[in-house]
């Protein structure tokens, strides 16, 4: 049951941070690896426990403000200098969530250079220490080449980092890194096969459970990350959620089911973070392969959400939001008997929102035009007619 959440904050944030790496293999472990490097540095400089905890969450979410595929790839370039927008956007997003306020500030300065000339106006020790640690860890991580054997990279990476000591990085942290880099086990821990387990194992202790309200706040943040990715649907996830909740209330769902619906609707398109923008924003029809990539997104959503304890239903409803009653949907093609009510609600809310929003290949439709198309869809058993009827009532009452 979600209403008395049993989920650790740690587990929740760790699972969702996985969504930030969905785009490509190169970035798939970026946040986890940066966290691993940060935790090693934190232990060596003997950070106190509360700072280590803040560092952990900040590192897991540090690039949350890089929205487009291009942004995500650009910031992986070691020499890239236009880092300011994603730092500021990350700050703005995380600052909305009470338990992430401190992390928000750390994220804001995570590319500030030690010797100054930063947009923030900060330099040297005026830059928060945790931001300095993430900055160093982040640049170490982008130097890793997954095509090359990991232990062989120590020399090259260390040399590059040392050359920027006192320029980009705090010299004390660079010295600390050199000590860590001399241990093979540190490098082995960066291998994509191991890094998740190791980060979980060495994560600072944090026995706090997450409240439903905070889950919803954080889900809102991730819904925005999905919405900001595309130029054409900046409010899609929040509109789907608003409509889904109205439908849920109209159908008399219990408080606990409505809470699940809330989170599931906010996060239903999380898997879209795996789709390159040139496919998502393509103004022409998609090729067979491109359409296959689109069809995978509910599965990615599921993989991220199912890792959170108690999220079986939340994950399944989101997973099935492109399934159809007649079995003709994607990605599974499951039929009426296997599509739960929560998923059917999200499907109807999703279709109505999508039809009434601009898309690269068409202008937005009016409510009446959208309903007409959806009535046709209901006739072909693609969506649930009972839920569509409630949507029609909601729209009529609004008029
Ligand atoms: Fe960054
Ligand atoms: Fe980064
Ligand atoms: Fe979708």
Distance 13 CA to ligand 3 centre (A): 22
Distance 234 CA to ligand 1 centre (A): 22
Distance 246 CA to ligand 2 centre (A): 38
Two tokens at 283?
Answer: 């103004």
pLDDT score recorded for residue 284: 86
**CATH superfamily ID and name for 212-398:** Hypothetical protein af1432 (1.10.3210.10)
pLDDT score recorded for residue 361: 76
For 148, residues 6+ apart whose C-beta sits below 8 A from its C-beta are: none
Distance 197 CA to ligand 2 centre (A): 20
For 311, residues 6+ apart whose C-beta sits below 8 A from its C-beta are: 7, 305
pLDDT score recorded for residue 1: 55
Residue 362 φ then ψ, to 5° = -165, 160
Residue 231: half-sphere exposure toward Cβ, Cα within 13 Å: 8
Ligand closest to CA 330: 3
What DSSP assignment string belongs to 259-325? HHHHHHHHHTTGGGGGS-HHHHT-SSPPPHHHHHHHHTHHHHHHHHHTTSTT-HHHHHHHHTTT--T
For 242, residues 6+ apart whose C-beta sits below 8 A from its C-beta are: none
Distance 26 CA to ligand 1 centre (A): 15
Distance 31 CA to ligand 2 centre (A): 7
Torsion of CA 171, 172, 176, 179, to 10 degrees: 70
Distance 146 CA to ligand 1 centre (A): 19
pLDDT score recorded for residue 3: 62
Task: Write the DSSP symbol of residue 119.
Answer: T
Instruction: Report if pTM > 0.85.
Output: yes
Residue 332 φ then ψ, to 5° = -90, -30
pLDDT score recorded for residue 144: 98
Distance 295 CA to ligand 3 centre (A): 8
Distance 71 CA to ligand 1 centre (A): 10
CA pair distance 340, 322, nearest whole angstrom = 13
| Residue intervals in the chain for CATH 1.10.3210.10 | 9-202, 212-398
Distance 153 CA to ligand 2 centre (A): 19
User: Please, which residues bridge with residue 362 across strands?
Assistant: 359
Angle 153-81-159 from CA coordinates, rounded to 5°: 25
Ligand closest to CA 236: 3
Residue 357: half-sphere exposure toward Cβ, Cα within 13 Å: 20
Torsion of CA 113, 119, 120, 121, to 10 degrees: 80
User: Please, which residues bridge with residue 165 across strands?
Assistant: 169
Distance 199 CA to ligand 1 centre (A): 19
CB 339 within 8 A of CB 323: yes
CA neighbor of 399 nearest in space, from 373, 350, 366, 364: 366
Q: What string of pLDDT tens digits covers the 399 residues of the chain? A: 566 678 999 999 999 999 999 999 999 999 999 999 999 999 999 999 999 999 999 999 999 999 999 999 999 999 999 999 999 999 999 999 999 999 999 999 999 999 988 999 999 999 999 999 999 999 999 999 999 999 999 999 999 999 999 999 999 999 999 999 999 999 999 999 999 999 999 999 999 999 999 999 999 999 999 999 987 778 899 999 999 999 999 999 999 999 999 999 999 999 999 999 999 988 888 999 999 999 999 999 999 999 999 999 999 999 999 999 999 999 999 988 999 999 999 999 999 999 999 887 788 999 999 999 999 999 999 999 999 999 999 999 876
Distance 256 CA to ligand 2 centre (A): 36
pLDDT score recorded for residue 6: 87
Distance 4 CA to ligand 1 centre (A): 35
CA pair distance 133, 67, nearest whole angstrom = 23
DSSP-derived 3-state class of residue 216: helix
Interior/surface letters 212-243, b for 16+ CB within 10 angstroms, e for the rest: bebbebbbbbbbbbbbbbbebbeebbbbbbeb
The architecture CATH gives domain 9-202:
Orthogonal Bundle (1.10)
- Ramachandran region, residue 310 (left: φ > 0; alpha: ψ -120 to 50; beta: rest): left
Distance 62 CA to ligand 1 centre (A): 6
DSSP-derived 3-state class of residue 46: coil
Distance 77 CA to ligand 2 centre (A): 10
Distance 248 CA to ligand 1 centre (A): 39
Distance 102 CA to ligand 1 centre (A): 17
CB 356 within 8 A of CB 233: no
Residue 369 φ then ψ, to 5° = -65, -40
Which residues fall inside 5 Å of ion ligand 3, going by CB? Answer: 269
Ligand closest to CA 137: 2
Ligand closest to CA 38: 2
Distance 263 CA to ligand 3 centre (A): 15
């Amino acid at each position: 049951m979600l209403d008395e959440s049993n989920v650790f904050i740690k587990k929740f944030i760790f699972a969702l941070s996985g969504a930030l790496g969905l785009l490509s293999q190169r970035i798939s472990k970026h946040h986890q690896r940066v966290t691993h490097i940060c935790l090693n540095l934190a232990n060596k400089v003997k950070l106190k426990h509360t700072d280590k905890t803040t560092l952990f969450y900040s590192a897991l979410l540090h690039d949350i403000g890089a929205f487009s595929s291009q942004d995500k790839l650009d910031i992986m370039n070691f020499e890239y200098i236009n880092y300011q927008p994603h730092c500021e956007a990350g700050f703005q997003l995380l600052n909305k969530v009470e338990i992430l306020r401190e992390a928000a500030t750390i994220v804001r300065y995570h590319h500030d250079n030690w010797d100054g000339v930063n947009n923030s106006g900060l330099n040297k020790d005026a830059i928060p220490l945790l931001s300095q640690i993430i900055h160093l860890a982040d640049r170490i991580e982008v130097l890793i080449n997954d095509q090359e054997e990991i232990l062989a990279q120590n020399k090259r990476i260390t040399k590059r980092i040392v050359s920027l000591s006192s320029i980009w990085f705090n010299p004390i942290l660079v010295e600390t890194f050199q000590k860590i880099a001399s241990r093979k086990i540190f490098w082995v821990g960066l291998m994509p096969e191991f890094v998740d387990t190791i980060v979980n194992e060495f994560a600072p202790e944090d026995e706090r459970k997450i409240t439903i309200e905070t889950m919803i706040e954080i889900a809102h943040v991730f819904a925005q990350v999905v919405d900001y990715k595309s130029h054409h649907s900046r409010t899609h996830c929040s509109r789907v959620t608003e409509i889904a909740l109205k439908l849920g209330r109209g159908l008399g769902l219990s408080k606990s089911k409505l809470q699940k619906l809330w989170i599931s609707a906010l996060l239903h398109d999380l898997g879209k973070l795996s789709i390159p923008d040139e496919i998502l924003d393509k103004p022409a029809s998609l090729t067979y392969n491109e359409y296959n990539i689109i069809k995978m997104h509910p599965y990615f959503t599921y993989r991220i959400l199912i890792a959170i304890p108690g999220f079986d239903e939340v994950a399944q409803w989101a997973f099935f939001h492109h399934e159809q009653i007649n079995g003709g949907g994607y990605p599974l093609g499951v039929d009426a008997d296997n599509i739960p009510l929560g998923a059917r609600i999200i499907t109807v809310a999703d279709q109505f929102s999508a039809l009434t929003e601009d898309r690269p290949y068409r202008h937005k439709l009016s409510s009446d035009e959208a309903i007409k198309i959806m009535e046709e869809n209901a006739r072909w058993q693609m969506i649930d007619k009972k839920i569509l009827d409630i949507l029609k009532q909601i729209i009529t009452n609004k008029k």
